[in-house]
Structure 1
Amino acid sequence: MALLARDSAVPSALVALTVFRAPAWACLICFTSYKERTRICQIFVGTQGPQLEACQEAFSSAFADLADTEINYDERSHLRDAFTQMTHSLQEIAVAQGSFKVAFLEAAKKMQKVIMELKGAQACVPPCGFQDVARRFVCFGCYSKACNLPLDCPVQDLTVTRGQQAKFSCTVNFQLPKEEITYSWRFAGGGVRTQDQSYFRDIPRAQGYLARIRPVQPTHSGTFSCSILHDQRPVARLYFFLNESAALEAAGDGVGAMEAKPERAAGQARSSDAGQPVPARGPRGHRISQCDPSGVDILSMVLQEQLTKVSFAYLLTLFSSLK
């Protein structure tokens, strides 16, 4: 885990850390203001004098156990609300001339209980990907941090006999956001095994999580890349190196096809599925098609065979769906 970005909502809190030499105040400083804390002690003991400093020291000591607290980043608002309620309660106790030492200790215990009941952040899942569900908020410093993992996943190697089927699944082991997830596919031809983005060219309209090539031909040898995007921001990039083997070469030229399956939301009506199109292709064309999870083609395109080491030419044809 490593620091990702500091929370911009708490600049005054960072200043207060220096002024009050108070790591023990960490969570308190992140979620309350200097004015609120000062006002509480002034109500307890007056606006000035040695008792005011003693009150501040007691406040610091009471919250010492919350110094290094880390919480789920999405739970910040809940913790902020709890601290807001705490400050109101302390002011009421101060007006009633209660003991600040007792009040602070009781308040700290309640806050510890609140923190324990918050939803915890998930653990980082190696080896790659930006895992927003594992993001944490750190009280000591008032900043957020995420998993220190690369965006690019290791290359997965696949050797397939010519004429057979190759399948790539663009999935990760960590939880993805539930909405705004999209997929995009790219290809580096000529037998290149790489993660260098300069070698890749887009495969138009291939936007599903599952890709299949059938039958595999020599022109398919190379690296396929799938990017998982959340709201157009990359979450992870997966790589699949396809090594075509001619050991059991199938007879005939056949028609190659790459199918990208989009993820359908649970409960989506099957009436939205498209039917089987009739693709137009040249005599040596290799059809690339996007399918729904049941395998029904909904989009076709032609991937021509003139592939080079760094690029390939492609021609996209969109067809009306037939029921």
Structure 2
Amino acid sequence: MPEMLGYKINTTGKKQSQRRLETNIKGAWRELGVFCDSSPAETKGEARHRCCQQSPSEREGAERRATEALRLGEKGGEDADWKSCFQCFVDVQDSLRLCSGHILTQYNIVNVDSCFKKLDHIFNTNERVIEAGRVGGGFDQTLKEILDAEILPMVKEFDQKQNYDTVYERRLQTAADNFIAAASKLPRVSGCFPPCGFQSAGAVYNCITCKYDSCEFPLDCPVEEIEIMEKSKSKMWCHVPFDLPDDIEVIWRFAEKVKTEQMDEFREVTAGVDRLYSIHSTGLQHQGTYQCEIYSGGRSIVRLYFYITVTPQVVTGHTELQEIFDLSLLPGGQLLPAPGGSRSSNLPLLPLLLCACLSTSLLLLFLSLGALYWFSVPEHRYPDEDSDEGGDFMSE
């Protein structure tokens, strides 16, 4: 019986609660005319007369007990763990008034059980209705207004009146189609963006649970690895693909020389609203893990991690020079051609260069030998000078 009303009873370990709930609902609905099937001792006509000929006070008391029984099922917890789309927006009392005059054409008797089965089929288990209800935040109230506009006029029209099941079928199906058409035009959300973060803006309304489904991602994002050269400027941007509230607070933390996501290893370095953290001249002491945590209203929304590896500048310079030297040599120890030239254009110049170097070396050798010979020859006096002097002495 409870399942026909759109509630699924959680019976695990709670058999007595289930039986008590079913007894309350059946007893109240029997007084209202739900179970108007004839007993072995009476005809169908007598059963219909017994169920439908009640005083206003008797009917009011039965409605009150039926309402309380239904609300017990609505509360969930011990006795129920599921709700349906129709129950999200339509009041229990309105449902009772809507179905109180439902007549089975085949037997010409009032049977509210069949009415609730129609509601389940047309609204509660209808995938098109559920999908139309998947709207963004804040539009669940609009869904209620749309459904009330379709159902409440029927409640007012059918209250205390009897109508055949074919009329109910036609009118309820039209109401469901109108709800689908109107609800489908409401704004949708882009949904959830993996892999992390509490994304309330991406949640969509679930007509089965009567609440918004949150994006079930962890707060901690995967660690992003960054390699940076010493004395270079490094930047870390705390960016997420989903929309953030306006009242955010950003806290940056640092765990020196380790790659980690353990909160107790971090120390706070700055707090405010700036999602950009930069280091003007990165040193070896800056190597480690940086954490950016975004808060809103005192609640954490997301945590991002950046692991920075710093390469020393000396090692970097040596490595770059070695790479340049290796690239400059061709196989066989030959040098690369000059820019704009080809390797073949340099080959005829090599013999000329070798000849010039050899000629210069030989010239320097001969000049050196000549200089040595010149300085090694002794000084001699000439005979003419001596004869002149002797001649002058004899004339005197």
**TM-score under structure 2 length normalisation:** 0.53
2:152 corresponds to 1:88: yes
Equivalent residue number for residue 207 of structure 2 = 139
Larger Rg: 2
CA-based RMSD of the aligned residues comes to: 3.1
Residue 106 of structure 1: how far off its partner (Å): 1.0
2:113 corresponds to 1:53: yes
Separation in structure 1 between the aligned mates of residue 175 and residue 213 of structure 2, nearest angstrom:
27
Unaligned 5+ residue runs, structure 2? Answer: 1-69, 104-108, 318-396
- CA gap of 1:113–1:37, structure 2 versus 1, over 3 A, is same
Residue 203 of structure 1: how far off its partner (Å): 1.2
CA contact (8 A) 1:162 1:248 kept: no
Separation in structure 2 between the aligned mates of residue 232 and residue 157 of structure 1, nearest angstrom:
29
2:309 alignment partner, SS class:
strand
Equivalent residue number for residue 170 of structure 2 = 102
CA contact (8 A) 1:43 1:91 kept: no
Equivalent residue number for residue 36 of structure 1 = 94
Equivalent residue number for residue 369 of structure 2 = none
| Superposition pairs of residues 172-251 of structure 1, within 5 angstroms | 172-177=240-245, 179-189=246-256, 191-205=257-271, 207-248=273-314
| Superposition pairs of residues 248-287 of structure 1, within 5 angstroms | 248=314
Residue 34 of structure 1: how far off its partner (Å): 1.8
- CA gap of 1:223–1:206, structure 2 versus 1, over 3 A, is farther
Q: Which of the numbers 137, 142, 152 marks the counterpart of 2:220?
A: 152
Whose RCO is larger (CA < 8 A, sep 6+)? 1
Equivalent residue number for residue 71 of structure 1 = 134
CA contact (8 A) 2:101 2:110 kept: no
* 2:255 maps to amino acid: A
- CA gap of 1:202–1:230, structure 2 versus 1, over 3 A, is same
Separation in structure 2 between the aligned mates of residue 239 and residue 55 of structure 1, nearest angstrom:
57
Separation in structure 2 between the aligned mates of residue 16 and residue 219 of structure 1, nearest angstrom:
60
Residue 171 of structure 1: how far off its partner (Å): 0.5
Equivalent residue number for residue 115 of structure 1 = 183
**What is the percent sequence identity of the aligned residues?**
24
| Superposition pairs of residues 295-314 of structure 1, within 5 angstroms | none
Unaligned 5+ residue runs, structure 1? Answer: 1-11, 252-323
Separation in structure 1 between the aligned mates of residue 229 and residue 199 of structure 2, nearest angstrom:
36
1:28 alignment partner, SS class:
helix
* 1:227 maps to amino acid: E
- CA gap of 1:36–1:205, structure 2 versus 1, over 3 A, is same
Of Structure 1 and Structure 2, which has the larger fraction of its residues in helix? 2
Separation in structure 1 between the aligned mates of residue 310 and residue 118 of structure 2, nearest angstrom:
72
Total equivalences in the alignment: 232
Q: CA-to-partner distance for each residue in 1:231-270, whole Å, 9 max, x for gaps?
A: 221111011111111035899xxxxxxxxxxxxxxxxxxx
Separation in structure 1 between the aligned mates of residue 217 and residue 140 of structure 2, nearest angstrom:
23
Separation in structure 2 between the aligned mates of residue 140 and residue 109 of structure 1, nearest angstrom:
18
Residue 213 of structure 1: how far off its partner (Å): 0.2
Residue 91 of structure 1: how far off its partner (Å): 2.3
Residue 172 of structure 1: how far off its partner (Å): 0.8
Q: Which of the numbers 96, 117, 122 marks the counterpart of 1:62?
A: 122
2:249 alignment partner, SS class:
strand
1:71 alignment partner, SS class:
coil
Separation in structure 2 between the aligned mates of residue 77 and residue 54 of structure 1, nearest angstrom:
29
1:215 alignment partner, SS class:
coil
* 1:239 maps to amino acid: Y
Residue 56 of structure 1: how far off its partner (Å): 2.7
